[in-house]
A and B are shown apart, each in its own frame.
Chain A
Amino acid sequence: MSTPAAVPWRQQPPPTPAYTAVPPRRTFARPEPEQSAPEPKPTPRKVDWPQGVREYVQRSFAPEATVPGIEREDMEKKLKQIISEAAENNTLLAVDWNSYPLPQHFILQDRKMALGVDANKTAWTNGSTSDRVIPLNGHTNNVSLSPSPKKRKSCDVPLTEPVDDNQPPWRKTNNRNVFEDRITYANQGQADRVDKRQRKNQDTIAGKGSSKFPQAELEKRKQRFQLAKPTSQSPHPWASPRDDSENEFSAGPVVGTCQDLEKKYFRLTAPPKPHTVRPLPVLEKTLELLKTKWRNENNYGYICDQFKSLRQDLTVQHIKNEFTVTVYEIHARIALEKGDMGEYNQCQTQLRALYSQKLGGHPEEFLAYRILYFIHTCNRTDMNDVLADLTPADRRHHAVKHALDVRSALALGNYHRFFRLYLDSPNMGAYLMDMFIERERLAALANICKAYKPDVKIRFLTEELGFESDSDCIEFLCEHNAQDLLKEADGDVRLLTGKAGLLFETLRGAAFSKVDIKGQI
């Protein structure tokens, strides 16, 4: 126990000491991930034991496995305990019973523990029948962590946390809720519930036995883990000890040490290693770099990915300041420009909360976008809420006022004003308005076709509906099957409004019936 585990203890198979009394195991080979991968399925208790378990029982009582000093009675007791615990934890199928240490092994362990002496020398010669009961998991933990090469056997025990350790990271998620990282919890309560559930699982898997050890032991164990950490950079990533059980659920912020400016986004399923996270000064440089790159290369796929990793680094380090706001604002604007409403909405939601903390930024600009967005989604409930939250100061702000004017123009059917406002929208409002401009043009046309007889000049429509040119306007009309309703007279193209009423009324109805909403705010 005193040997520090500075050696990567999972790397090489340990030399088997000649004096080991424990029965030979079948294999030293690390179980393939596939072997350990099966999800612990809920096994109905009190049914047929799996084949593996039965063979394990047979092996335990085989004559060659007999250890002097261990009575059959003790064996039965231990065996019962091992299996019932596996059943309780639903790991009956997950355990690789072929290579699982025999009960004799655990009994010796118990005795060693009870005596508090080095088992290497005394365990098997000690004839006392101490039957101190330590839960199975306690053993595994203890054994698997033991620095003594002699106890290395447990690394073959794919029963508890080590199962995870044997797996490559992409497989690792399978042991938890696979979709967990895709869930956005509506509220903290929900998240807490899930969290609790996981914590409970974890308790049953790993934690149970540990509480039986004195605090000092636990501390020592922790230290060993920390010592073992650097080995995670070993050439065999699958062999690296991942001490997820230690800090998986600790919520403390990470302090990054990474100095790279660029980093590909990777959805985290576990707390990140500090050397993969960039600290604030690096992130600030990153943002400058990204801004330049966006200007020069305009590659949205790359930029979006980089911004996501940037946001992630801010989150894991709990950085909430003006810089955070700036990052979200810039990403929102870029997403808006590219029409990526999903990403835009994510940023908008975050910004709303950040603004509520008064961290600076441009709350009015984004408030205006919010209003325009609700016009797009025709969401009266949310629009009413926005109006309810407006302060007189908000209303005076240029962009907010513009958005409110847009809203009221549409509410009153004043398409004339609406298209004037469209041509004169501040910031990036026009990108949002683009989403419903076609719909509103159809509505205005339905209106005009009912009110004007017998026809109107295209010039008039171009002006009223905010088209760039007459030909744009004609193109729009033709796209909507109005080509037969155009006529040329005295050098002007005219739309026969008297006959087009039904066409545009139908188109208007269709355009309003389906509003495409991606990633609602």
Chain B
Amino acid sequence: MEEVFADFRRAITEGDGYGLAATISPIAPEHDAGRLYAFFRSSNAHQIDGDIRYAVKYNDTLRLPRPESSAWNEVFVSYWKAVGEILAAEEATNQGRMRDAQWNRVYDAWKDVANTLIKYHISGVFPAWTIPCLYLAGKYLRTFAIKADEQSARVKGNVTFNAGYQDDVVSSIGKNEKLEDAARQLNRMFALCLGDRAPIEDSRKWGTYYTANLLFKTHFKLNSINLSKNIIRSIQAQVDMPPLEAFPKSHQVTFKYYVGVVAFLQEDYVQAEKNLTEAWELCHKDAQKNQELILTYLIPCRLITQHTLPTTALLSPYPRLQALFSPVAACIKRGDLAGFDAALVAGEDEFVKRRIYLTLERGRDVTLRNLLRKVFLAGGYEPLKEGQTEADRIRRTRIPISEFAAALKLGMGVDGQVLEDDEVECMIANMIYKNLMKGYISRERAMVVLSKNAGMAFPGTGV
């Protein structure tokens, strides 16, 4: 117990928020692996209140204001209880004899810690610099909630049947009871940071983005991405919010990443690209995992907005991304339809898991464009008329549909699906509709008439 309170006193005297947060961490520090255990064993349910009161309140060196010392007292009492639950749960896990709802109890105990912190932040008893404690509480609240839900899903399965007299058999599917509860507590943290009216030097507003990021994470896990839009909106609605650049970089990167991914999932690829690019540029050079996450969405995004593919140089530091994207990218580049389809099927599980399948699928348009462009290039030039020189020559822009059909047949591979003539036309119509080709189809002549202007037939590709 003494170690914990030595750290506590030091952090309070120095005004070290993160040091203070470390004193209520549910994970023992590396240099003192037995700390939680020792802390828990140093007292008991009867004496804990008194013990902590002695360490916090009646300590002359601290001289905390009375309400604040009582508040810390309360925090540490609930922390002590939570540590007890955590140790019990971990011990049981190690011994492979988990009791029912053990992680539920950890969650509930930890929620007490979090709520005590929230309470005294709302009432302004804790100074704003202690906000890292709130971060820590929120972070582990989420972790414990996930564990609790996993455990109850294992026990109960994920379907609850009605026992009452409602009309239908099933009352709920896919419960995430604790995580949903955690989302509510995190939302309170977020709201208290966002709405703090104190002068900005000493405001909890500085916690806005950290708590927002925790909420994003939680909502993504809960699959309620729409709620994430509300967070973004409520931050935008704050007029006296300091600019995002003024916040710690780690908060900025995560926030921009999530804003980008939310936009990505809404198919707003322009916004997505902007935010993800900013996140990418700000990201710490050693944060490989974060870079990977950003690229996972930025690459499909660029494929849609700019029809560009990642270079091998870009992918080389990330073997996982390489495995994920290289096969697809290579096929797009070659205009290999059959290969593209196969690569998409092969990677489908991974793509779907990362929610990029439906976006990558649209890469097929670019693949097709590249294939049809080859036909156009192979078509060569119109014969020179009298008086024209090499410099004046133009490409053949009237291309029979049958040529494209032949290319598609080749592109789909030998045993690929054979396209009907109308379907070939349909694919070409799509290219034109999506501005990947410029021109029109003349059904009468069974021709595609492409733009004569140099570099306009396949916009952005130089021809």
Contact = CB atoms under 8 A, between A and B. Distances in A.
Interface of A: 181, 185-189, 191, 251, 254, 267-268, 270-272, 308, 311-312, 314-316, 318, 320, 324, 346, 349-350, 352-354, 356-357, 380-381, 383-385, 387-388, 408, 411-417, 446-448, 450-453, 456-457, 460, 463-464
A199 to B, nearest CB: 12
15 contacts: A185-B172, A187-B175, A188-B175, A271-B165, A311-B167, A311-B168, A346-B168, A349-B168, A387-B357, A446-B433, A447-B430, A447-B433, A453-B440, A463-B422, A464-B426
B362 interface: yes
Contacts of B428: 451
A381 B352 CA distance: 10
Contact of B165 (A272, A413, A415, A456): A272
Given A185-B172, A354-B169, A411-B361, A318 B163 contact: yes
B433 to A, nearest CB: 4
Given A381-B265, A415-B426, A251 B163 contact: yes
Contacts of B173: 349, 352-353, 356
Nearest to B435: A450
Nearest to A497: B440
A354 B159 CA distance: 9
Interface string B157-198: 011111111111111110101001100000000000000000
Interface in B241-265: 265
A350 B162 CA distance: 11
A361 to B, nearest CB: 13
Shortest 5 CB-CB distances between A and B: which pairs? Answer: A451-B429, A416-B426, A251-B163, A353-B170, A453-B440
Contacts of B361: 408, 411-412
Given A268-B167, A350-B169, A412-B362, 16 more contacts: A187-B177, A251-B164, A254-B165, A312-B165, A350-B170, A353-B161, A356-B158, A356-B159, A357-B159, A380-B358, A384-B358, A387-B352, A412-B364, A416-B426, A451-B429, A453-B440
User: Quick one: which of A324, A411, A416 has the most chain B CB within 10 A?
Assistant: A416
Nearest to A249: B164
A378 B323 CA distance: 30
Interface centre among B175, B223, B426, B428 (most CB of A within 10 A): B426
Interface string B92-124: 000000000000000000000000000000000
Contacts of A349: 168, 170, 173
Given A349-B170, A384-B357, A452-B443, A188 B223 contact: no
A457 B444 CA distance: 10
Given A316-B165, A324-B169, A352-B173, A187 B180 contact: yes
B432 interface: yes
B430 A414 contact: yes
Interface string B439-451: 0111100000100
B403 interface: no
B353 interface: yes
Contacts of B449: 453
Contacts of A267: 167
Q: Looking at B167, B267, B348, which has the most chain A CB atoms within 10 Å of its CB?
A: B167
Contacts of B170: 349-350, 353-354
Contact of B426 (A311, A312, A352, A414): A414
Interface in B416-431: 420, 422-423, 425-430
Contacts of B285: none
A268 to B, nearest CB: 4
Interface of B: 158-173, 175, 177, 180-181, 223, 225, 265, 267, 348-349, 352-353, 355, 357-358, 361-362, 364-365, 420, 422-423, 425-430, 432-434, 440-443, 449
B167 A417 contact: no
Contacts of A181: 166
Nearest to A254: B165
Contacts of B422: 416, 460, 463-464
B417 to A, nearest CB: 10
B223 A381 contact: yes
A324 B432 CA distance: 51
A453 B441 contact: yes
Contacts of B433: 413, 446-447, 450-451
A385 B434 CA distance: 28
Contacts of A415: 426
Contacts of A272: 165
Contacts of A315: 162, 165-169
Given A388-B353, A451-B429, A463-B422, A412 B365 contact: yes
A415 B167 CA distance: 41
A442 to B, nearest CB: 13
Nearest to B428: A451
Contacts of B426: 413-417, 464
Nearest to B423: A416
B162 A388 contact: no
A187 B158 CA distance: 11
Contacts of B168: 311, 315, 346, 349-350
B160 A411 contact: no
Contacts of A316: 165
B399 to A, nearest CB: 14
A181 B165 CA distance: 9
The winner among A353, A354, A388, A447 for most chain B CB atoms within 10 A is: A353
A314 B159 CA distance: 17
A185 B169 contact: no
A353 B159 contact: yes
A242 to B, nearest CB: 15
A300 to B, nearest CB: 18
Contacts of A312: 165, 167
Nearest to A251: B163
Contacts of B365: 412-413
B165 A268 contact: yes
A388 B351 CA distance: 9
Nearest to B176: A187
A191 B358 contact: no
B167 A308 contact: yes
A460 B181 CA distance: 57
Nearest to B160: A188
B432 A385 contact: no
A374 to B, nearest CB: 11
A380 B169 contact: no
B327 to A, nearest CB: 19
Nearest to B267: A380
B172 A187 contact: yes
Contacts of A417: 423, 426
A200 to B, nearest CB: 17
Interface centre among A271, A381, A446 (most CB of B within 10 A): A381
B392 to A, nearest CB: 26
B352 A414 contact: no
A40 B318 CA distance: 67
Contacts of A416: 420, 422-423, 425-426
A380 B352 CA distance: 11
Given A315-B166, A353-B170, A453-B441, A189 B430 contact: no
